[in-house]
Amino acid sequence: MTSTLHRRGTAGAPPPATPAASAQGDAGQVAAETAGAPLPFERTRRLRATAARRALVRETRLSPAQLVMPLFVVPGRARREPIASMPGQERLSPDLVVELAADLAALGVGGLMLFGIPTEKDPRGEAAADPDGPVPEALRQLRAADLPLVLAADVCLCEYTTHGHCGIVVGDRIDNDATLPQLANAALAYASAGAEIVAPSGMMDGQVATLRAALDAVGQTEIGILAYASKHASALYGPFREAADSTPAFGDRRSHQMDPANSREALREMALDAAEGADILMVKPAITSLDLLARARQRFDLPLAAYQVSGELAMLEAAAAHGWIDRRRTGLELLTAIARAGADVILTYLARDAAAWLAEERSR
């Protein structure tokens, strides 16, 4: 009986399942039940599928209004001089600056930054403060044209000195404190001619405080100061020095421009300029200062600017001319990276082209 009952209980039944066999069976059942079902992972590509979706969720948006076009102004009329190392850029007389400015305004570009190349230079850079110099003349004509552009003027002596340095040279060094009054005189000349913003770029200690005090003393309290607060002694300035005829006749600028290796010092310079009364803080060059922009964005509430310098333009243009990169896509990608890092204002020689590209994208 016992054996019969045992046989009845086991006849035709599968053997007891072992743990391993049970796991295999469960997995097979799950696989069968979920065949064709989506797996449980994040599908971030959903929002990249179409141009419209990508535009809808874009985190960093470029606008022509945040772009500032640097321009090199020479004396005279109907004067146009191409700059060999900066393809597409020219030195322009004030009348032609106004013509170009009208085009930029029509494209929605935010402003201009003017650099002057005088007829004559001297060791002290006296022409920087000449009320009849190329920058003041251009500012007066621009103001008369009443264009919706912010007018800014660079304040430095390098374009105006025979030695090409950013300040007054005594012996073999730049005399910081002797340079400050010259910078103040230049800023006053530009403000009187119509500049809304003056931009000290020489990296002289105390330059922002000096300009603020000089402007306030004559009632120019509404003139803003854009401080080149973190300006590295960069190899990317070469084409600019050709454009502005400001290559140093001897030595270099590492005694006053910053060591590119230093980031804490850069933030200290920004803090000092903010304390001295700067309205906008700028880093230069832009592409090698993205980390500084990001850190500054966390630390300062002031607007931040970045200068996409001449060497950055030259590399882009050279690579594009060889067909190695797409000029338009690369240009916009670089500008977007600068904005993404924290720049509210971007000085760029691509301002006109970028504004046109952005307009085309909006019209599609």
Kindly list the catalytic residues.
231, 284
Name the pairing type of β-strands 90-92 and 67-73.
parallel
As a whole number of angstroms, the distance between CA 2 and CA 171 comes to 119
Angle subtended at Cα 57 by Cα 52 and Cα 63, rounded to the nearest 5 degrees: 85
DSSP state at residue 47: G
Measured in residues, the chain has a length of 364
As a whole number of angstroms, the distance between CA 270 and CA 278 comes to 9
Which one-letter amino acid corresponds to residue 64? P
Nearest-CA neighbor of 96 among 129, 145, 132, 131?
Answer: 145
Token pair 């300035």: residue = 237
DSSP state at residue 332: H
Alpha helices in the chain (DSSP H): 2-10, 19-34, 51-56, 94-106, 134-145, 176-193, 207-217, 238-244, 264-276, 290-299, 310-321, 327-341, 351-363
Cβ pair 104, 355 in contact under 8 A: yes
As a whole number of angstroms, the distance between CA 138 and CA 140 comes to 5
Nearest-CA neighbor of 246 among 167, 308, 315, 348?
Answer: 167
Residues 6+ apart with CB under 8 A from 277: 208, 209, 212, 225
The pair of three-digit structure tokens given for residue 73, joined into one six-digit string: 């102004």
CA distances from 350 to 187, 263, 289, 305, 312 (A): 26, 27, 18, 15, 10
Cβ pair 182, 206 in contact under 8 A: no
